[in-house]
A and B are shown apart, each in its own frame.
Chain A
Amino acid sequence: MRKTNLILLPVLLLTIGFVVSCGDDNEGPTTPDTFDRKAMLENIGQNIILPGYQRLQGSVWDLQTAVGAFVDNPSASTLSDARSKFNDAYLKWQAVSFYEIGEAEKVFLRGSYNTFPANTITINSNISSGSYNLDAVSNIDAVGLPTIDYLLNGIGDNDDDIIAAFTGDADAGNRGTYLKDLLAAMKTKIDQVHGNWPADQGNFIGSFVAADGTDVGSSLGMLVNALNFHYERFTRDNKIGKPLGIRSLGIPIPANVEARYSRQSIALAVANLEAIRDFYLGQGEQDGLGLHDNLLALESKYEDRLLGNAIKEQMDLAISKVQAIPEPFADTVENNPDPASDAYQELQKLLVLIKADMPSALGVLITYQDNDGD
């Protein structure tokens, strides 16, 4: 906001308010709770986003170490350790995936970390040739967690075959290098994204808390738009809808599930939804101000309830329905799709609430373009 506005506006509004409020006391005094948007951003930044990146960074570092140990010395035990570190990193990723703003957006974190399904043809041709640029757009589905999933869990039919792919196979050396290169690229990105946030480093947190308006460039605007963008396309569509066949006239696409080879699609979807709920509630290391509190303070209504609570309840319901989908999801979509269809309906209802009702109540804008009507 321009400096002059900050001086002009109060003068003008006070004048208008004064001129008009004379004799306008027919409305009983309403005293809405004061809601401190800055404090909410402070909480979301310090208590949720920053620790989220910190945890992901730690788990990526651990995974890098474990993958290095496995590649240097492929064995059942190093493989099992690498897998457990992989599962941990995938879970930690779910907690940060939906606030792709600032540096994360700049380095295209979500695209490079979790574009699935992995393209095994590209991956294998990269490995055979030994020459590749992991940052290239053409390699977007040959990097990140889905590719590691494939290399640690899907490159062979059983653990012995998988270990053999890193020892006896003609491409074994290249394959190990590829795996290490993937981790190095992921480490660079998360280091960069995480390093941009703390006050004593990139201090994105500073400008994040300062931008406390509701326009597109404000932090609240960016968070709400980023959340909806992620939730609609990635949580609802990619994790559940597309494998279920929602986008392909009912024909399921089991190969499109997330974490296809480690068979943890539903666990990851639940982790993502739970993280979204915590974010909404302002719940991090400790409970603080979140969008939920903001909506309650605005007293926004949804039918005869408060919108803030309606969203929370719908989140709880959607999570429980997704939890009820049997793993592995790739089998479920073909053999037992009903629980997934039920869950999908609840995810849809949640989307309406957070994409239509919530921004409307918060006064958040979705574009920079002029608007005189709505």
Chain B
Amino acid sequence: MRKIINHITSPVSIAPLATFRLLFGFIMLVSILRFMINGWVYDQYIAPKVFFPYYGGEWIQPLGETGMYALFGLMALAALMIMLGLFYRIFSVLFFLSFTYAELIDKTNYLNHYYFVSIVAFLLILVPAHRHFSLDILRKPSLKLSEVPAWTIGIFKCQLGIVYFYAGLAKLNPEWLFEALPLKIWLPANQHFPIVGPLLKYSWVAFAFSWFGAIYDLCIPFFLLYRKTRLYAYAFVILFHISTWLLFPIGMFPFIMILSTLIFFPASFHEKIISGIISVFKALSIFVRSGSAVSLNKYTYNRALLYLLGVHFVIQLLLPFRFSLYPGKLFWTEEGYRFSWRVMLMEKAGYVIFHIEDPETGRKGEAYAHDYLTPNQEKMMSTQPDMILQFAHFLKREYQLKGIKNPTVKAEAYVTLNGGGSRLFIDPNVNLANEKESFKHKSWILPYEENKVLNANNY
């Protein structure tokens, strides 16, 4: 134990941490500006009339038009300040809070890479990443550090390793490995690409991509850690992420990973980055000139912080396995699916017909999501049981407002998973208006295997 403590608290150069901070702030700034320029603040937070908060986080609501733009403005400012290392203590906290708040408003927008950003932002709060190559040391020269305890850099490597390794573990399922699904469905859609396009329709290509993806994810953290393989591994990082960027609409994630994984490189490499940046932008030399650096600091033996991090990583290691506490096929029920680094694992689509009944008069009708939800919300809701339940509760309130005291809301939902053909998804006889959300298994999700027919009509 003492050995471990000694190892993680031993002093190392602060350079990797400083460039990590700078690059992360930079890519976040780009991501947020891109998000705003694409009009997604409006599409995701202002246009929708209904939102899907997380269980337990129902108090997290959108802030209205002005509020949402202000939130994203603050987020962009905070990213910029993290990049510059100016008032870092405050802005790292503000960035984490504003970003995480925005992501928790609506499950529709859940992306693994947003979850990753939230975690990194949280970890950045805990480390002195602003005490080298930053405006804070210009502001207050005594802040300057040349060395930090090893754990302040190790936690980011550890987190990245978890992301890759668990993404790889998630690919170790029969569909991915032995049927090349869903890549066999997705790749042929790109057959208009020059040269490789015509190849993408062959199933051996889908198999090659599937196996390469799984092996890459499982191995890359180790190859990045090991000095002799690091450079080749990083070449694969670039190759892999650029390919996924070209093939799939996954946004900024590839670039975030390409920049983040630089932290695996040694301090000398990061010093070179810093001096490289300074030689290009001469004015930036003020970032390093001032102050005389000290090497060790008060973080070294802050036990509480280390315990907090210990808890964080134990959660990180266990959370992705929570799915095994639920019965049924994970991709079908999605119970324990999120927050587990399951990226690009399935092709799922569905359609839900909501049957409304007024028990007092016996009158029956139907309600459809398109009247209330954005196309993206409707798409996400149609395949995720917890969102179907939330929407059923929303419909219950809607019909109560129309004067029906106790409306029955049943969902006739059809879902197709990995091109398997749409089949009945949840029990159409269950009144969802009376079902409660919880972490328990939703018994009204029909098992995948037993439902092979669409023509189960007249509910």
Cα distance A204–B407 in the bound complex, in angstroms: 49
Q: Are B422 and A357 in contact (CB under 8 A)?
A: yes
Q: Does A160 contact B (CB under 8 A)?
A: no
Q: Classify chain B's interface size.
A: 35 or more
Q: Produce 1/0 per residue, B239-277, CB < 8 A to A.
A: 110110011111111000000000000000000000000
Contacts of B230 in A (CB 8 A): none
Given contact pairs A37-B191, A298-B188, A366 touches B379 in the complex (Cβ within 8 A):
yes
Cα distance A165–B367 in the bound complex, in angstroms: 41
Segment at the interface with B among A106-114, A194-202, A247-255, A272-280: A247-255
8 Å CB contact of A212 from B192, B404, B453: B192
Minimum CB distance partner of A341 in chain B: B458
Q: Does A129 contact B (CB under 8 A)?
A: no
Contacts of A241 in B (CB 8 A): 366
Minimum CB distance partner of B186 in chain A: A363
Q: Are B252 and A307 in contact (CB under 8 A)?
A: no
Q: Are A345 and B458 in contact (CB under 8 A)?
A: yes
Cα distance A333–B363 in the bound complex, in angstroms: 15
Given contact pairs A10-B193, A27-B204, A249-B358, A301 touches B379 in the complex (Cβ within 8 A):
no
Q: Are A245 and B419 in contact (CB under 8 A)?
A: no
Q: Are A27 and B203 in contact (CB under 8 A)?
A: yes
A interface size (C-beta, 8 A):
72
Q: Please give the distance in Å from A310's CB to the nearest CB on chain B.
A: 8
Q: Are B194 and A16 in contact (CB under 8 A)?
A: no
Q: Does A188 contact B (CB under 8 A)?
A: no
Q: Please give the distance in Å from A99's CB to the nearest CB on chain B.
A: 18
Q: Produce 1/0 per residue, B395-430, CB < 8 A to A.
A: 000000000100000000011100111100000000
Q: Please give the distance in Å from A146's CB to the nearest CB on chain B.
A: 22
8 Å CB contact of B421 from A31, A225, A250, A357: A357
Minimum CB distance partner of B367 in chain A: A247
Contacts of B249 in A (CB 8 A): 215, 365, 368-371
CB-CB contacts below 8 Å: A219-259 with B: 225, 232-233, 237, 241, 245-251
Cα distance A32–B345 in the bound complex, in angstroms: 23
Given contact pairs A362-B189, A373-B111, A24 touches B198 in the complex (Cβ within 8 A):
no
CB-CB contacts below 8 Å: B301-356 with A: 342-351, 353, 356
Q: Are A232 and B416 in contact (CB under 8 A)?
A: no
Q: Please give the distance in Å from A307's CB to the nearest CB on chain B.
A: 7
Given contact pairs A27-B204, A363-B186, A369-B44, A300 touches B419 in the complex (Cβ within 8 A):
yes
Contacts of A17 in B (CB 8 A): 196, 199, 205, 208-209
Given contact pairs A9-B243, A360-B349, A360-B419, A16 touches B192 in the complex (Cβ within 8 A):
no
Q: Are B250 and A21 in contact (CB under 8 A)?
A: no
Contacts of A250 in B (CB 8 A): 363-365
Q: Produce 1/0 per residue, A1-25, CB < 8 A to B.
A: 0000110111011111101110011
Q: Does A302 contact B (CB under 8 A)?
A: yes
Q: Please give the distance in Å from A94's CB to the nearest CB on chain B.
A: 21
Contacts of A101 in B (CB 8 A): none
Q: Are A356 and B351 in contact (CB under 8 A)?
A: yes
Q: Does B376 contact A (CB under 8 A)?
A: yes
Contacts of B204 in A (CB 8 A): 21, 24-25, 27, 29-30
Contacts of B211 in A (CB 8 A): 20, 24
Q: Are A32 and B202 in contact (CB under 8 A)?
A: yes
Cα distance A20–B253 in the bound complex, in angstroms: 23
Residues of B in contact with A (beta carbons under 8 Å apart) = 38, 40, 43-44, 109-113, 182, 185-186, 188-196, 198-205, 207-209, 211-212, 239-240, 242-243, 246-253, 342-351, 353, 356-358, 361, 363-368, 370, 375-376, 379, 382, 404, 414-416, 419-422, 452-455, 457-458
Known: A14-B195, A356-B350. 19 other contacts (CB 8 A): A8-B246, A13-B196, A16-B209, A24-B208, A25-B204, A27-B203, A34-B198, A37-B192, A247-B365, A248-B365, A302-B422, A303-B453, A352-B422, A356-B349, A356-B414, A357-B421, A368-B38, A369-B43, A374-B348
| Nearest 9 interchain pairs by C-beta | A363-B189, A370-B251, A10-B195, A249-B365, A360-B349, A20-B208, A20-B212, A249-B363, A13-B196
11 pairs from A and B in contact (CB 8 Å cutoff):
A17-B196, A30-B204, A232-B370, A249-B358, A249-B361, A249-B363, A249-B404, A353-B422, A363-B185, A374-B347, A374-B348
